[in-house]
Amino acid sequence: MARIGIFDSGVGGLTVQRALLEALPGADTVYLGDTARVPYGTKSAATVTQYSLRNARVLEACGIDLLVVACNTASAVALPALRQALPVPVLGVVEPGARAAVRATSSGRIGVIGTAGTIGSGAYQAALKALRPDAVVVARACPLFVPLAEEGWTDPDDEVVRGVVRRYLAPLQAERIDTLVLGCTHYPILKGIIAEVMGTDVMLVDSAEETARTVTEILGSSNLLRPASEKGNRHYFVTDVPAGFIRVGNRFLGGKLGDVHQVSLEGY
């Protein structure tokens, strides 16, 4: 059976895991959340690359056939190093997200929101320009969105939430974008309020869904998968104690997590 490795700095990647399991319910997955070092979005490219390599080596030791980097920041800065270090295919979320955005836009005016690390790297901007050279890309880091999502302050009718979201998105509205990439795995949790603030004319692109589609393209034609009627094995690992991950994680996965085990990355 094909085994898919997925890592993220913490719980955010569970939105990618969720999309993946919807598309490929029979897939075996091993998820690693680096909760002892979360978040990656505020850290340098060198540090994020070092952490990403360590995560990948742990998953490699689990015998994975494909690695999904379910963290936008790690996808933005660490893919070349990961591809060089690993013997299996490595898929990030930036390229699929950019592809979906280019398909969705008609005006070519595309917004991207993400962590400081993701936006600062310029990875989405470059990926979008490579696919559509005349695109106008408006990028904005939204550092308060992750803590809002983790606090569960996501109600579109909540005046405080609305105030924060409006402030970050105002410059994107002023640029009259028609497509907005949610370039952080936490942001789908805020989709309701983001959609309301941006209005119905703006298409929201969730990298998770497009990434799941790409994994399906790679694995779906192979006979390495169980029939969709059989549920695959799901393993969850974290680097800090599991309690906080489980509490927030059920909301992100949209269902109940199985057992979550703590692993040490020392020596990897």
How far apart are the C-alpha atoms of 56 and 123, rounded to whole Å? Answer: 20
Tell me the residue ranges of DSSP E strands in the chain. 3-8, 28-33, 66-69, 90-91, 109-114, 136-141, 179-182, 203-206, 234-238, 260-262
What residue type is assigned to position 42 of the chain? Answer: T
Given 16, 58, 64, 71, the catalytic residue:
71
Q: Looking at beta carbons only, is 42 or 250 nearer to its own copies? A: 42
Question: Measured from the CB of residue 4, what is the shortest distance to its own copies in angstroms?
Answer: 27
Q: From the CB of 186, what's the least distance to its own copies, in Å?
A: 12
Minimum gap (Å) between residue 94 Cβ and its own copies: 21
Query: Would residue 62 show up in a list of annotated catalytic residues for this protein?
Result: no
Which residues is 113 bridged to in the sheet?
140, 182
Torsion (CA) 224, 254, 156, 187 in degrees, nearest 10 = -40
Task: Find all residues with CB under 8 Å of 151, minimum gap 6, and list them.
Answer: none
Minimum CB distance to its own copies, residue 42 (Å): 7
Q: Is 184 a catalytic residue?
A: yes
Binding stretches for its own copies (CB under 8 A): 35-38, 42-44, 46-47, 143-144, 146-148, 150-151, 153, 159-160, 163-164, 167, 240-241, 243-244
| Catalytically annotated residue among 30, 165, 180, 184 | 184
CB of 178 or CB of 240, closer to its own copies: 240
Q: Based on CB atoms, which residue is closest to its own copies, 162 or 226?
A: 162
Nearest alpha carbon to residue 59 among 79, 85, 30: 30
Closer to its own copies at the Cβ: 116 or 218?
116
Helices marked H in 24-65: 45-61
Residues marked active site are found at: 71, 184
